[in-house]
Amino acid sequence: MDADKQQRSKPLPADQVALTVEVFRMLAEGTRIQILWALIDTEMAVSDIAEMLGKPGPAVSQHLAKLRMARLVRTRRDGTSVLYQLENEHVRQLIVDAVHNAEHAGHTVPAHHLHVEGVSSISGSRPVR
């Protein structure tokens, strides 16, 4: 199904809703968000992700297996190493947008707006772009 071309006035098909719910279910865990964030612009081995996050390798491996089954990450072999990366640009954009949206919950200018010309506050008088 092409979500960009789907009429927004019609409900989504039940199977598409179920798949979307499963994606959000996979994202509803802090370690998985950290893993996906670590993979935003690179590929990494389990041991490198575990070290970066300060988590045990087996725990990271279990999270990666779930993310892989949900088609949020994929693997690539490099000799004897297995490297993980985000499945596609849509996953990358989903994570970046979620983090940016979360930044708006604070009382300061979100980090992703700090270098936008003209943005210096988030007061009610001026909308943040």
Global pTM reads 0.78
Residue 98 domain-assigned (yes or no): yes
pLDDT given at position 115: 64
Q: Report mean pLDDT in 10-residue bins for the chain, 129 residues.
A: 65 94 95 97 97 98 97 96 97 94 78 59 44
DSSP state string for 25-91: HHHSSHHHHHHHHHTTT--EEHHHHHHHHT--HHHHHHHHHHHHHTTSEEEEEETTEEEEEES-HHH
| pLDDT for position 5 | 60
Please list the residues that pair with 59 across neighbouring strands.
Answer: none
CATH classification at residue 39: 1.10.10.10
Residue 125 lies in a domain: no
Whether 101 is in a domain gets the answer yes
48: which residues sit within 8 A by CB, 6+ positions away? none
Tell me what pLDDT residue 117 has: 56
The pLDDT value recorded for residue 127 is 46
In a domain, 27, yes or no: yes
> Is 121 among the domain residues?
no
Range of the domain at 109: 14-113
The pLDDT assigned to 95 comes to 95
